[in-house]
Structure 1
């Protein structure tokens, strides 16, 4: 894996070097990690990101998970990608309060639900996950800035979001995401596929902090908002 842009440009890096290259400058810090093809598809033939990612993407994906205190993901993505209990808390974001079926038997405290007062299934979520694991934030939609703070207050300051595209768009619109990590795999898939952001238009300027390359796969760290000292 070569560093194209960033510290030690032109140098090779191994797993030990990823910790330094992907270190967060402050906390709380919310990064979003997404994968896409050269022609912009966020999913492949199976309708999941798993059908387009590769071993290089998996290496950084695993590192970001290991470095995070908590994983945040939209309910639709958790359902489509077949999410299961992770080795750190998993927070499902859902305006309906709908816990994906495969997570309903999770051990106590392993899965949390972030939802809103208008959620039609919030009572069921409390039954499944426990009242303490259901975060009601906002009236008709999830208050994402508040979610970031609530997670930090629980001691989960290094926060990793794994999408999906609608949640990424909403995090950017709310000014909550500090960083976007992208993997661009060297493939073209054509067809009808979502991009890494979906929803109403927005315009968010990004600053490239890091660009890695391995076997034609490009991995980038894009920073949002006020520049951080890295």
Structure 2
């Protein structure tokens, strides 16, 4: 893995490169093809590679909570949120819980309580859904946060997560959640892996939803090159 910018370094410390400020922070992590596709055949995995998966795991190690849409949990067939022994030890040595908390966003609470991402989770997950939604079928496997009458109130949901001590938040999408977080002005950072593939027409982008009134500007913090993948980190 080669550090392109800032100045190249021998064996760059990825933990330091991806360390977030001490303030509450919301980071997104996505992979995209060269022509803008967010998936191939309905899954993002074909766009990935060893270096991307390494950073993928590292970002999970650094977060307090992983926020993901219910559709992504189903389509990408999420496993329970677990870490390697080394990464668990890293967290414990710094006073962090052994595992981050999985948070699933679902406007209709349309989740199967037996799904392994919920039923096998080492830490009780959280489900965010709209007020008035019947989420009783999830009570045995997850805490439920209800917010917003007409639609999900994401700023309020994020505020409640931070009240629980979940200050460093990572999201892996999907595209609709990415678009909603951007529209709400909640995105502090985007980690984007650019895959050297042309996926062709048909696949959606990494973000979806109504257009923004004005684009949000981010600043490049570093660029890594590995196995043809370009790993970019942008922050507000």
Counterpart among 122, 127, 151 of residue 113 in structure 1: 127
Match of 1:3 in 2: 3
- In structure 2, relative to structure 1, the CA distance for the partners of 1:108 and 1:66 (3 Å cut) is closer
Q: Structure 1 pair 188/146, CA: closer, same or farther in 2 (3 Å)?
A: same
Give unmatched runs, 5+ long, in structure 1.
225-230
Selected match of 2:36 from 21, 35, 40? 40
Q: Name the structure 1 match of 2:104.
A: 92
Per the alignment, residue 228 of structure 1 pairs with none
Q: For residues 184 and 108 of structure 1, do their structure 2 counterparts lie closer, same or farther at Cα, with a shift above 3 Å needed?
A: closer
Deviation at 1:152, TM superposition (A): 1.6
Larger mean CA deviation between 203-212 and 156-165 belongs to: 203-212
Corresponding residue SS for 1:129 = coil
Contact 1:85-1:111 within 8 A present in 2 as well: no
- Look up the match of 1:68: 63
Equivalent of 1:144, from 120, 135, 154?
A: 154
Q: Provide the C-alpha distance between the structure 2 equivalents of 1:198 and 1:97, rounded to a whole number of angstroms.
A: 20
**In 2, are the aligned partners of 1:31 and 1:180 still within 8 Å (CA)?**
yes
Contact 2:225–2:231 (8 Å) recurs in 1? yes
Q: In structure 2, how many angstroms separate the alpha carbons of the residues matched to 1:222 and 1:108?
A: 31
Deviation at residue 108 of structure 1 after TM alignment:
8.1
1:112–1:134: 8 Å Cα contact kept in structure 2?
Answer: yes
* CA-atom RMSD in angstroms: 1.8
Number of residue pairs the alignment of both structures matches: 215
Q: Against the structure 1 CA distance between its residues 12 and 185, is the aligned structure 2 distance closer, same or farther, given a 3 Å change threshold?
A: farther
TM-score normalised according to structure 1 size: 0.87
The residue matched to 2:158 in structure 1 has which SS? helix
State the shift of 1:145 in Å. 1.5
Q: Which runs of 5+ in 2 are unaligned?
A: 83-99
Matched, 1:129 2:129: no
The 2-side partners of 1:73 and 1:56 are apart by 22
Aligned to 1:51: 46
* Cα distance change on mapping 1:98 and 1:210 into 2, 3 Å: same
> How far apart are the structure 1 equivalents of 2:103 and 2:128?
7
